[in-house]
Structure 1
Amino acid sequence: MAKKLWVERNEDGSWDAYSDDGAHIKFGHGKGLFNPGDLMKVALAGCAALSSQFPIENALGEGKGARITVDGDYDEATDGYTAFREQVVVDAQSAGIHGDDAEKLKDRVERHIEKSCTVKHTYEVATPVTMKVKVITK
Structure 2
Amino acid sequence: MAKKLWVERNKDGSWDAFSDEGAHLKFGHGKGQFNPGDLMKVALAACAALSSQMTVENSLGEGKGATITVEGDADHKANAYTAFREQVVVDARDAGIRGKDADKLKERVEKHIEKSCTVMHTYEQATPVSMDIKVLTK
> What TM-score range do you get, normalising by the shorter chain?
over 0.9
TM value normalised by structure 2 = 0.99
SS in 2 for 1:114: helix
**How far apart are residue 30 of structure 1 and its match?**
1.1
Q: Which residue of 2 aligns with 1:89?
A: 89
Deviations 1:20-41 (A, max 9, x none): 0000000000101000000000
Sequence identity percentage: 78
> How does 1:1-138 map onto structure 2 within 5 Å?
1-138=1-138
Deviations 1:75-123 (A, max 9, x none): 0111000000000000000000000000000000000000000000000
SS in 2 for 1:94: coil
For structure 2, which runs of at least 5 residues remain unmatched after alignment? none
**How far apart are residue 12 of structure 1 and its match?**
0.1
Aligned amino acid, residue 29 of structure 1: H
User: In the aligned structure 2, how far is the partner of 1:132 from the partner of 1:38?
Assistant: 24
TM value normalised by structure 1 = 0.99
Aligned amino acid, residue 92 of structure 1: A
User: In the aligned structure 1, how far is the partner of 2:91 from the partner of 2:71?
Assistant: 20
SS in 1 for 2:69: strand
**How far apart are residue 13 of structure 1 and its match?**
0.2
In angstroms, what is the RMSD of aligned CA positions? 0.3
Aligned amino acid, residue 118 of structure 2: T
For structure 1, which runs of at least 5 residues remain unmatched after alignment? none
User: In the aligned structure 1, how far is the partner of 2:124 from the partner of 2:80?
Assistant: 14
User: In the aligned structure 2, how far is the partner of 1:119 from the partner of 1:15?
Assistant: 22
